[in-house]
Amino acid sequence: MKNLIVNADDFGRHELVNRAAEIAFKSGCLRSATLMAGGIAFDDAIRIAKNNSGLGIGIHFTLANGNPILPPKEIPTLVTSEGIFHDNYIAFLKKYFSGKISLEEVRSELAAQLEKILSTGITLTHVDSHQHLHHVPGIIEIVLDLASNANIKAMRSADAKIFDGELNSIGKFIGRLGLGSLAKFAAHQAHKKNFVTPEHFAGIVAGESVNENFLLKLISNLQDGTTEIMLHPGTDNKILCDFCQWEHDFETELAAVTSSRVIAVLDEKNISAINFSDLR
């Protein structure tokens, strides 16, 4: 049996991200989204989640490139002088591996993010993280502990394929190789605690967008089991690129998962679009 989980990351980050997730659920093959507790459009995302039964909602744990839930004075090693998280995973990991990040603060902040979402009455299907930081040794153990206590038993393992997308720099090669190694470690830790993970991961992790051709090729060669595709769809590139400070083709990803060609091929090959709650 072959299943596909198409997941929209950054749900709650901006209303135009939320709109895209809702459109992709209603008109496409997207059945899952992961919610940023610190996003400015959090309340809007909760409304959409509650109004769209069948859209699985996970938590997108965030430790970089976003806003904390706890007051900055309670998590001084996690934030800049402006009281926000460090710019990206590179800045975070430099501090982390030099011993300047408090794991106690990590636990407190992630627990606050989880509690904020659970307090809305949403039932969470799984855990993943912004810029894949839940894979990092030391952090993965905290994530699994918090998730287990909340009765969440599924997790993303972003075991990215080295040759998915462009490979035009040594940095991208090293980055994908490193992420794949961390993902295998994190999945091993998760499985020891009886968490389930999709067998395969197909998101492009170096910034490129998943387009229609990528999806059609992937579906044509889909492996047995469940494959997760990570996406960042949106409805307006200019607004979202400016807001996120990220040159990403949000609109191309939305077009890909609502493509009539993609949906037709899924039907033709009898591939089910599911969310993480369907994993066993």
What is the pLDDT, as a whole number, of residue 204? Answer: 66
What is the pLDDT, as a whole number, of residue 96? Answer: 96
What is the pLDDT, as a whole number, of residue 180? Answer: 78
pTM of the full structure: 0.93
> Residue 79 in contact with residue 38, Cβ under 8 Å?
no
What is the pLDDT, as a whole number, of residue 177? Answer: 56
**Alpha-helical runs (H) found in the chain:** 15-27, 42-51, 89-97, 103-118, 139-149, 170-192, 212-220, 237-244, 250-257, 260-268
CB-count burial class (<10 Å; 0-12, 13-18, 19+) for 267: exposed
What is the pLDDT, as a whole number, of residue 31? Answer: 98
Q: What gap in Å lies between CA 120 and CA 74, rounded to an integer?
A: 23
What is the pLDDT, as a whole number, of residue 86? Answer: 96
Domains of the chain: 2-278 (3.20.20.370)
> Residue 256 in contact with residue 215, Cβ under 8 Å?
yes
Tens of each residue's pLDDT in the chain, 280 residues: 899 999 999 999 999 999 999 999 999 999 999 999 999 999 999 999 999 999 999 999 999 999 999 999 999 999 999 999 999 999 999 999 999 999 999 999 999 999 999 999 999 999 999 999 999 999 999 999 999 999 999 999 998 764 455 544 444 444 555 677 899 999 999 999 999 999 999 876 545 789 999 999 999 999 999 999 999 999 999 999 999 999 999 999 999 999 999 999 999 999 999 999 999 7
What is the pLDDT, as a whole number, of residue 83? Answer: 96
Helix (H, G, I), strand (E, B) or coil at 7: strand
